[in-house]
Chain A
Amino acid sequence: MAHALLKGETGDWEMVIGLEVHAQILTKSKLFSGASAAFGAAPNTQVSPIDAGFPGMLPVINELCIEKAVRTGLGLNAKINLYSVFERKNYFYADLPQGYQISQYQHPIVGEGEIEIDLPDGTTKIIGIERLHVEQDAGKSLHDQHPSKSYVDLNRSGNPLMEIVSKPHMNSAEEAAAYVTKLRAIVRYLDTCDGNMDEGSMRCDVNVSVRKPGDALGTRCEIKNVNSVRFVQQAIEYEARRQIEVIEGGGTIKQETRLFDTKNGTTRAMRSKEDAHDYRYFPDPDLLPLKLEQSFVDDIRKTLPELPDAKKKRFIALGLSNYDASVLTAEKDRAAFYEKVANNNDAKLAANWVTTELAGALNKAGKELHDSPVSAEQLGGLLKLISDNTISGKIAKDVFADMFESGKDAAAIVAEKGLKQVTDTGAIEKIVDEVLAENPDKIAEYKSGKDKLFGFFVGQVLKKSGGKANPAIVNDLLKKKL
């Protein structure tokens, strides 16, 4: 994709974007305690004394979190660091019970990697990953429950997070959106994060700066906690425009942290660099440095699933268009559904049915793939009936509509309604003869050169057969007789 430049009064501007994505590791319990990490429980019901920072409490690493972080690192084609260190990031806040967050700083568990993003124009771009580190989440302050008091919910306190930091390799809001989308697909494929941004299990901090093409990097601003792909795009677009206006108005950009206001799509300053905390990081003496065996990493590597890019390439090799392959692999569930449908069926036919007929019907019914009334096996069954000429593609659409309504199998509907395609040449010939006998004038017109009337004859025959006549045989017979 061509470099997207923004037009300003003084010429073109280039955006430089880097993202820090916090992805909650998909585990039952927290990073350093046995309390549940599930979403949506009543406030302060999933809190152990460890999560609440009680005196004498000590963290113990949840091994599954480490395994999933490594798994994610491998999925990002990244270097796995066999030696990593948990450090304390010290600051005071009411929802940070220990007075520090246990995170990784100088020695993250995952180093540099890269992912390929798919852009709307069908091109791809490689985005570098700087690092991935594991850390615990803070609790949640609630400022809107009481006129003068704030409440604290510690359910989230201690939840396991992966912070995935990209390199500043993105130059448009679309690229950033594509990055988040791809990252989400990868962690879902890996089963390391559920990727549910609306529940906060994936949150983005967006770093944006602008510069004249070819210039050195501009001063960046960090927009905190942006919670959807759409908001990421909006925030970047607004922020880049704001920065250009400031610079072109003779001002300078101050390095600062900003908040995205979802109501009006703007960003506003939260704190400047001067107010920035001195986090006083130091190795957490309660946790020994984390040392992994190479065999631990190798064993995880062996269990990696086929990731979206590999799957997409394989689908294209099966004959699917780049677009269909992208759409089908964008979501793990959709890809799995498609593969079940395509099992022993024509790959392209299956792709068409999943991306158009099924997607359309679901959309119309306001349903998601996971609650589709037609299962992948059922849809596969329908396609089989098309392939073996039991029914025509046209009848198949009616059968599908029935399946979607009733949840019945295709074969049952076909049998029930007697929709089996007529392939008996004699029977079809009889209908052909009838149609021809009924339309002598049309035959004359056809013979005088109106070729298009051929379709009329086909249609008449199919209609008379109740749609059941095999269209290929009808074609053959008509050609012969006309």
Chain B
Amino acid sequence: MTNLTSLTIRQALDGLKKKDFTATELTEAHIKASEAARHLNCYITETFDHARKQAKESDARYASGRAGLLDGVPIAMKDLYCTEGIQTTAASKILEGFKPPYESTVSGNMFRDGAVMLGKANLDEFAMGSSNTTSAYGNVINPWRSEAEPDKQLVPGGSSGGSAAAVAARIAMGATGTDTGGSIRQPAAFCGITGIKPTYGRCSRFGIIAFASSLDQAGPFARTVEDCALLLQSMAGYDPKDSTSVDRPVPEYFKAVGQSVKGLKVGVPKEYRVEGANPEILALWDKGVAMMKDAGAEIVDVSLPHTKYALQTYYVIAPAECSSNLARYDGVRFGLRENTDNGNLNDMYEATRNAGFGKEVKRRILIGTYVLSAGYYDAYYNKARRVRKLIWQDFINAYQKCDVLLTPTAPTPAFAIGENTADPVTMYLNDIFTIPASMAGMPGMSLPVGLSADGLPLGLQLLGKPFEEETVFKAAGALEKAANFTALPQSLMDKAA
């Protein structure tokens, strides 16, 4: 039997259909790999028994010829997705032990299609962070290591760090993430895998714990573009329970992968060539542009003039929404409660939220409360909303000239755990290339295109028009083929050796 954990989802589905192996065997292989990779801390909650049960049911469906789109595929579920009866923490102490009495729409869609859940993946607390170091359940370790400093543990990126690391470490075939300002694309780039944030409104947010509601969007991780397409097809769709989800049919995205990009107009926004940028990243970007050109695409120079305001705007809007979204964690109805002796309600709130929230979450609640306060509202929140419109308009204008945009995903490769933590702004800069598309609600995908001099994966980002994920998949398929990224994380190489 082939090494089951090295298969792509497409290969696994074919193998299951052909009865080369069973869903149970596939799941057991991933459970075994997960157990061997526990030091990476990818899961907050392992749900192996649950996975075994789901795999058994999947085998029954294969036996009776009723298998679904993802039947028997073992995945990791970001612990921001509420899963019925299974602890859901958002990587926060304040939700420790919380078992939702409901299933998120997206996880429900995947289970409907036969996906098997191995565990609830670690993340930055409430998805706030770019390195998975703000989790109350410990940081996640990137399976990749720098050749220059092989002893240094690197971050997997964030916030969906556990999901990305699990897929890169071959302990899950795919994973769910959420992306508010880059939380799928940046960890995908850091971990050398692919990830897509679809258009805002493409996936339901129902049952996904909110960080910034106008930005949060679900999306998948996988090791190939086609696998991402399969996962997204299952996840996406209109949900009457989410008023911001959009009612339009879900295409069979995988059919776009492999289509020719001849004549496709690929925009290269000049504003992403920021001063002092990492030369390796710029070189990779140039390489990517050349690859697209070679594949038959037409390269177009475009301008997104308000890009430089995106980060600041994001750090007004996202904290504003978060300060309100996180008000419900008050110790009254669920999760942590710190009782005080005096019976004073406000003191209970303070004690509970002080003990339950980590530093980064508190920082963002404070920022958000401040920017919405009387006297500051117009200067910050209202201005940010106006700028956000301009950023959106930038994209609309650019898309008059091109079909997709090609940019770097992150300004650097994965950095060491503990780096970039002294000044929060340095950490925030990680999302400089991913945030504009988030602000505009546009779909964006990251895929690995090359390695840094130190042997770390580097990703490029393809951004598309609203609800034109198919075009993104088509372009990503071409880039994937040209880049032919086959490198494996060192930890896996060690094992193989």
Contacts and interface: CB of A to CB of B under 8 A. Distances in A.
A52 interface: yes
Interface stretch (A91-99, A412-420, A427-435): A91-99
B199 to A, nearest CB: 15
B333 A97 contact: yes
B397 to A, nearest CB: 24
B372 A94 contact: no
A433 B372 CA distance: 97
A60 B214 contact: no
B100 A55 contact: yes
Interface stretch (B144-152, B241-249, B416-424): B241-249
Interface residues of A, number: 31
A249 interface: no
Contacts of A64: none
Interface string B152-184: 000000000000000000000000000000000
Interface stretch (B205-213, B402-410, B468-476): B205-213
Interface in B271-304: none
B95 A280 contact: no
Contacts of B334: 54-55
Contacts of A148: 343
Contacts of B320: 282
A127 B381 CA distance: 37
Interface string B44-57: 00000000000000
Give the residue among A54, A59, A88 with the most B Cβ atoms within 10 A.
A54
Given A92-B349, A98-B328, A58 B243 contact: yes
Given A55-B328, A58-B243, A94 B345 contact: yes
A94 B343 CA distance: 13
B82 A98 contact: no
A90 B82 CA distance: 24
B65 interface: no
A58 B216 CA distance: 13
A53 B372 contact: no
A57 B90 CA distance: 14
A405 interface: no
A56 B100 contact: yes
B343 A55 contact: no
B85 interface: no
Interface stretch (A111-119, A223-231, A285-293, A472-480): A285-293
B213 A286 contact: yes
A92 B346 contact: yes
Given A282-B381, A286-B213, A61 B243 contact: yes
B365 to A, nearest CB: 11
B328 A285 contact: no
Give the residue among A97, A148, A288 with the most B Cβ atoms within 10 A.
A97
A253 interface: no
Contacts of B329: 55
B88 interface: yes
A362 interface: no
B328 A58 contact: no
Contact of B373 (A56, A98, A280, A287): A280
Given A90-B372, A280-B373, A56 B333 contact: no
A56 B208 contact: yes
Given A54-B334, A60-B240, A92-B327, A285 B88 contact: no
A98 B242 CA distance: 17
A108 B206 CA distance: 26
B239 to A, nearest CB: 9
A97 B323 CA distance: 15
Contacts of B333: 52-54, 97
Nearest to B88: A55
A29 to B, nearest CB: 14
Give the residue among A59, A61, A97, A280 with the most B Cβ atoms within 10 A.
A280
B36 interface: no
A348 B326 CA distance: 64
B243 A288 contact: yes
Given A100-B327, A280-B323, A282-B321, 13 more contacts: A55-B95, A55-B329, A56-B81, A56-B205, A56-B206, A57-B206, A58-B206, A58-B243, A90-B323, A92-B327, A99-B330, A280-B324, A288-B243
29 contacts: A53-B328, A54-B100, A54-B334, A55-B98, A55-B100, A55-B209, A55-B210, A56-B206, A56-B208, A58-B206, A60-B243, A90-B323, A90-B327, A92-B327, A92-B346, A92-B349, A93-B345, A97-B328, A98-B327, A99-B324, A99-B326, A278-B374, A280-B323, A280-B373, A282-B321, A285-B212, A285-B213, A286-B210, A286-B242
